Amino acid sequence: MNPLEIAASTSPWAQVNVGEKALLILGLLVLAIALPPLPALPIIGVIILVAAARAQVPWKLYGALVAAPATFIILGIFPLVATITTHGIERVDGGFTDAATVLGRSIVGMSATMLFALTTPMSEQLLWFRRIHVPESIVHVTMLTYRMSSQLVETSRTMWQAQAQRLGHTNKRRWLRSSAHQIAALFVIAFARARAMQEGLELRADAACYRTLTVARPVRTRNIVSSIIILALVMIIGLKGAQLWG
């Protein structure tokens, strides 16, 4: 199991009904996207951090999962701040505000998404998809894709350790060569496994024929009501605060 799966399966919220977590966490995600950035984003961010603390997520892993995609977003917001013209690089009017808004929404949204991932094992998500009547074929393909991705991550880790033991990381030149070899090998392995998965899907019976054991996760009305109240308050404060802020 990778660190994400371990954290999700050991979280105190792992035994909570997936619908309850989806209502609160994904509801906050929607509000982070839909509401005006101020004062909604700071409020939503605080609520997410409090929820993460109550869920006892590993903070180091949580921070890494949020920071990794945030780095790509930071590198990609340059066109919002400046533009290249025949006169050189010029600043875009309101660009810093737009860039800050995009970055803020992205970080808060990713924080909510990663909180859901760190508190909900994939097996629980798949069972929940079946309960809400997501087409069985989609659930089955999702399960197989997740398994293949997990296997590729484990294969990549094994290859990296093997290269290190063969002194492939002793200097920068060897590190670059080892990384290039690993990427090329993983590319071939991924295609081979994807082809095998496609053949397996074609040879198997209808995915709707499969039946698995399920664990009952009762919905607690108190949590549902609390989540609705929190979302409603955030929406009201966000809209009213935006009017006062404007």
pLDDT at 229: 93
Confidence check: pLDDT of 213 > 70: no
The string over 78-104, giving b where at least 16 C-beta atoms fall within 10 Å of a residue's C-beta and e elsewhere, is eebbeeeeeeeeeeeeebeeebebbbb
3-state secondary structure 134-175: CCHHHHHHHHHHHHHHHHHHHHHHHHHHHHHHCCCCCCHHHH
More confident of the two residues 160 and 232? 232
Confidence check: pLDDT of 68 > 70: yes
What is the mean predicted confidence (pLDDT) over 45-53? 93
- Enumerate the β-bridge partners of residue 89: 84
pLDDT at 206: 60
